[in-house]
Structure 1
Amino acid sequence: MALRLSRLIEAVPRSWTGRLAPEEGGGHGPRIAVIGNCQARGVAEAVRILAPGARVRLIPMSTLGKRGQDLDAFAATLGACDHVFSQPFPAGFFAGGGSEALRERLPRMRLFPSIVFTAFHPDAVYVGDLASVARMKLAPSPLGTYHSAITLFGFLQGLSQTQILALFREEVFSRLGYLDAWGLAAADLIASSRAIGFDLSGELLRWSRDGLFMHNINHPRLSVLGDIAARLLREAGLSPRPVAVEAYAPDVLLDDAIWPVYPPVATLYGVSGSTVFKRRQRRGMPPETLGLDAFVAESLAIYREQPRESLTCHRIEHWAASPEIRHLFDAA
């Protein structure tokens, strides 16, 4: 349930560090619209590289339904497009329905999934009113809205910073299920992709062979978004260039929050591990990183200022109901 809710939150509009022009490409190729969350920009830029001459328009979810536009009017603005690639979005943006209703009006529209994969970062959670689909109701953290479940539960259990830091070790990760997270994360991603007719089981196998393919639980690396763009083009009857997109374009999601792969998790998957977190980067500014001790200290300072009832999370509720997990924290 918690994983499904995190996928729902990913559909919440995000602020963008920059936007593509209404239409970019400058060629005489097909007109392609790409609709989606923070992952869509990478898909749009990949399409421009893979389909030379394509005129690509990025439409962030944060702009949907603005200024009272209804679904029919929005569909009409896309009528001149040869192809529309969209991530699923709920009915709340338009009174007339969500992405499925839009697809009824645009038969050539293709859905592509929002990538959420938690196995590399099993401690990262959202906190707050997840059911509201309102980003403003998520509790803040040192990394925007990404929280450490261990840190939050430790705070709620009355542990000190020193006691919480002591919990970041392999034995605790194992007992919390952090070292057995791959199967569930893979099953959830595959199920959600199959639900919209875009089965990612083959791609996931290839990504996993390449090592770490996520910056955090819902920000994939550009190579992943390039694979999705290439497949969208092929399924639309176009022939993408056989190139690696990440060799030709910057990975814009690197500017956002980066959650580390904790060393015991990294060892399990054969990737590089650390406990260094990176904040969302301001344009033109160098990256700002936090060690585990600084991240925990800042998280605790934030929690002390928040109403306790706002610090809600399904993971935390599950742990609170488990005597074994409560004892694990009490013994810290």
Structure 2
Amino acid sequence: MALRLSRLLAAVPRSWTGRRGSDEIGLNGPRIAVIGNCQAKGVAEAVRILAPGARVRLIPMSTLGRGGQRLDAFAATLKACDHVFSQPFPAGFFPEGGSDALRERLPRMRLFPSIVFTAFHPDAVYVGDLTSVARVKLVPSPLGTYHSAITLFGFLKGLPPERIVGLFREAVFSQLGYLDAWDLAAADLIASSRAIGFDLSDDLLRWSRGGQFMHNINHPRLTVLGDIAARLLREAGIAPRPVAVEAYAPDALLDDAIWPVYPPVATLYGVAGSTVFKRRQRRGAAPETIGLDAFVAESFAIYQAQPRETLTCHRIEHWAASPEIRTLFETA
């Protein structure tokens, strides 16, 4: 029993067991845990700014269930929190279930959505096995795991790189639906947010009025994460500071891959456009950018080294079944 208790206490932040960590000296506000994917770090940082004195613990989704931890044990470590904010996570991290099962054990836990919005970057896709979210097997790309659907489909159709580069033009984008992507992207985001009781319809309208609010399909800018943090605090009964988080904290997701808004898409939405991609970078390192020609060439080198059966993607399967799109690539 004593051993079990010591393990439990070891999993709780020091300041939550009566001892104070060096980064929490002087903090006596609510204890808040933030659970989620790469977006959760920005939410946690925003909570620290918006709720002075809050003792915030970030729990990356990738660490859930590590070392064979069970859901009951994880829930027990969170009982010391005054508030738990979590993005939905599926069964697979814990044998007992996902975020719904955790919420049953922590009724006060509040869910917040994972932001995915593809309208600014309709060409960006994942490639590989997505059947198990906890153990995703993705094909690498020049930008980590983000691929160009046009580049991949052109490769699979046997087109040379120079012909694929020539496909990045307005007429092709129009035929592929890239210039009509907003309504579907908005509907998907709003539906997923309403499904967990965190309707983003008003927020999306406000974000869109401010211009481009995504770095890529699933990395929102810090202003978005600040808005989510402020709303979580208000719904938890904590009045957030009336400040813009992005004015006080760096946007950590800028260190990750940045997908450009292609010029025809950018013109449509009134934002800056380019075909310059930015790689994921180490903290403190200078950003490294590559142009479209280099991106296509590097993608080809990766695809040629991959078993062809691993180059799977729902978008590509849809295009392969469309005579119009096949003809577009064959004659362009």
Q: Do they superpose with TM above 0.5?
A: yes
Question: Would the alpha carbon gap of residues 324 and 295 (structure 1) be closer, same or farther in structure 2, given more than 3 Å must change?
Answer: same
Whether 1:329 and 2:329 are equivalent positions in the alignment is yes
Percent of aligned positions with the same letter in both sequences? Answer: 84
Q: For 2:179, what is the secondary structure of its paired residue?
A: helix
Structure 1 gap segments, 5+ residues each: 1-19
Whether 1:108 and 2:108 are equivalent positions in the alignment is yes
Question: Would the alpha carbon gap of residues 188 and 288 (structure 1) be closer, same or farther in structure 2, given more than 3 Å must change?
Answer: same
Whether 1:118 and 2:118 are equivalent positions in the alignment is yes
Report matched runs for 1:126-165 at 5 Å: 126-133=126-133, 137-165=137-165
User: What amino acid is the match of 2:310?
Assistant: S
Q: For 1:163, what is the secondary structure of its paired residue?
A: helix
Q: CA deviation at 1:95?
A: 1.1
Q: Mark the structure with the bigger radius of gyration.
A: 2
Distance 1:135 1:322 in 2: 31
Alpha-carbon displacement from aligned partner over 1:226-280 (angstroms, at most 9, x marks no partner): 0000000000000000000000000000000000000000000000000000000
Contact 1:126 1:145 in 2 (8 A): yes
Aligned residues: 313
Give the aligned partner of residue 10 of structure 1.
none
User: What amino acid is the match of 1:207?
Assistant: W
Contact 1:25 1:48 in 2 (8 A): no
Distance 2:134 2:103 in 1: 24
Report matched runs for 1:198-277 at 5 Å: 198-277=198-277
Report matched runs for 1:1-332 at 5 Å: 25-26=24-25, 27-133=27-133, 137-332=137-332
Q: CA deviation at 1:293?
A: 0.5
Distance 1:197 1:136 in 2: 27
Note the aligned Cα RMSD (angstroms).
1.4
Q: CA deviation at 1:91?
A: 1.1
State the TM-score, normalized to the length of structure 2. Answer: 0.92
Q: CA deviation at 1:107?
A: 1.1
Contact 1:142 1:298 in 2 (8 A): yes
Q: CA deviation at 1:133?
A: 2.3
Question: Would the alpha carbon gap of residues 281 and 135 (structure 1) be closer, same or farther in structure 2, given more than 3 Å must change?
Answer: farther
Distance 2:186 2:139 in 1: 27
User: What amino acid is the match of 1:199?
Assistant: D
Q: CA deviation at 1:285?
A: 1.5
Q: CA deviation at 1:66?
A: 1.0
Alpha-carbon displacement from aligned partner over 1:203-234 (angstroms, at most 9, x marks no partner): 00000000000000000000000000000000
Alpha-carbon displacement from aligned partner over 1:28-74 (angstroms, at most 9, x marks no partner): 00000000000000000000000000000000011111111111110
Contact 1:21 1:57 in 2 (8 A): no
User: What amino acid is the match of 2:162?
Assistant: T
User: What amino acid is the match of 2:44?
Assistant: A
Distance 2:68 2:293 in 1: 46
Question: Would the alpha carbon gap of residues 21 and 294 (structure 1) be closer, same or farther in structure 2, given more than 3 Å must change?
Answer: farther
Question: Would the alpha carbon gap of residues 228 and 25 (structure 1) be closer, same or farther in structure 2, given more than 3 Å must change?
Answer: farther
Q: For 1:97, what is the secondary structure of its paired residue?
A: coil
Distance 2:67 2:163 in 1: 50
Runs of 4 or more above 3 Å deviation: 20-26
Give the aligned partner of residue 3 of structure 1.
none
State the TM-score, normalized to the length of structure 1. Answer: 0.92
Contact 1:90 1:99 in 2 (8 A): yes
After TM superposition, the structure 1 stretch with the greater mean CA deviation from structure 2, 240-249 or 135-144, is: 135-144
Question: Would the alpha carbon gap of residues 309 and 21 (structure 1) be closer, same or farther in structure 2, given more than 3 Å must change?
Answer: farther
Contact 1:35 1:85 in 2 (8 A): yes
